[in-house]
Amino acid sequence: MRKGIIYAAACYSAWGLFPIYFKALQSIPSIEILLHRMVWALVFLLLVLSVRKQWAWLDDVFRQPKLLAGFAASAVLLSANWFLYIWAINSDRIVDASLGYFMTPLVNVFLGFVLLKERLRTVQWVAITCAGLGVLWLSVQTGHPPWIALILASTFGMYGLLRKTAALGALEGLSLETMILFPFALAYLGYLALHGQSVFLQATTSTQILLLTAGPITAVPLLMFAAAARRIPLATLGLMQYISPTIQLLIGVWLYHEQFSQERLLGFLGIWSGLLIYSVDSLRLNFMNKATAS
């Protein structure tokens, strides 16, 4: 349990610190960062799979076209989420990106209602309504919906939905997704290099080395997350997920001085209220289930 909490805290803290890493790569276009992230993530994951001699799952995967199609869809959603997240950070929209990951748990609940026909309890409807009012307030204040946050939350929510029903673990699933994305990423990087448009090749050595570390930076937090999920209850893991967007928000406001006015704070408060209601309800249900089981 203790080790699981340490893994979860380390994992969510690492994800929360991602804006600092991507800001250091601001001289490279977001699409090129994304392509390198796909390539080097796969290289690192293949090394991990080789060390662990964890290859048996591949035989089963290639015999199941339906499974491959599902992971192709999740790979597209993951790459869209990664790209928008990188773009948002390098466009000084870290606060907007953090809002997306605050919204994700409630978006997951709503997607379950819409797509899986899950019945929502009254408390869950209250939580979603609070978040919806927060989004509406932000839309009124800015003159447009918080589209970065909404797309990040929707793509990650849909990705989580697909992965929830997939028959592969975290390491194998991400490996398969990056295998699917790898040929397209490598082909585009090759095209950029051949036409003299690769910013990576013209960058400083320190920037190139930093970009090459995208592999372990992508995969290591995921491995820590998988280790944490095996050791601590899902309710605890669910509450700890707010570490990541909280760190992102603080980095955006305090380190990079992004605007966070009182009007904007009111919108966030609506969404945070929904999250608080949802989290307290989840803890209550978890406690009741444990009491019934004992």
Supply the pLDDT for residue 206.
Answer: 93
Q: pLDDT-derived band of residue 221, with 50, 70 and 90 as boundaries?
A: confident
Q: pLDDT-derived band of residue 283, with 50, 70 and 90 as boundaries?
A: confident
pLDDT at residue 22 above 80?
Answer: yes
pLDDT at residue 147 above 90?
Answer: yes
Q: 269 to each of 41, 107, 173, 225, how far by Cα in Å?
A: 36, 17, 35, 28
Supply the pLDDT for residue 100.
Answer: 92
Supply the pLDDT for residue 186.
Answer: 96
Supply the pLDDT for residue 173.
Answer: 86
Q: 103 to each of 64, 182, 241, how far by Cα in Å?
A: 34, 30, 11
pLDDT at residue 72 above 90?
Answer: yes
Supply the pLDDT for residue 293.
Answer: 66
Q: pLDDT-derived band of residue 157, with 50, 70 and 90 as boundaries?
A: confident
Lowest mean pLDDT among 93-97, 140-144, 202-206, 272-276: 140-144
pLDDT at residue 51 above 80?
Answer: yes
Supply the pLDDT for residue 35.
Answer: 95
pLDDT tens track for 223-279: 888 778 777 776 677 778 889 999 999 999 999 999 898 888 999 999 999 989 988
Supply the pLDDT for residue 235.
Answer: 63
Angle at 102 between CA 96 and CA 104, to 5 degrees: 105
Tell me the average pLDDT of the chain: 88
pLDDT at residue 205 above 70?
Answer: yes
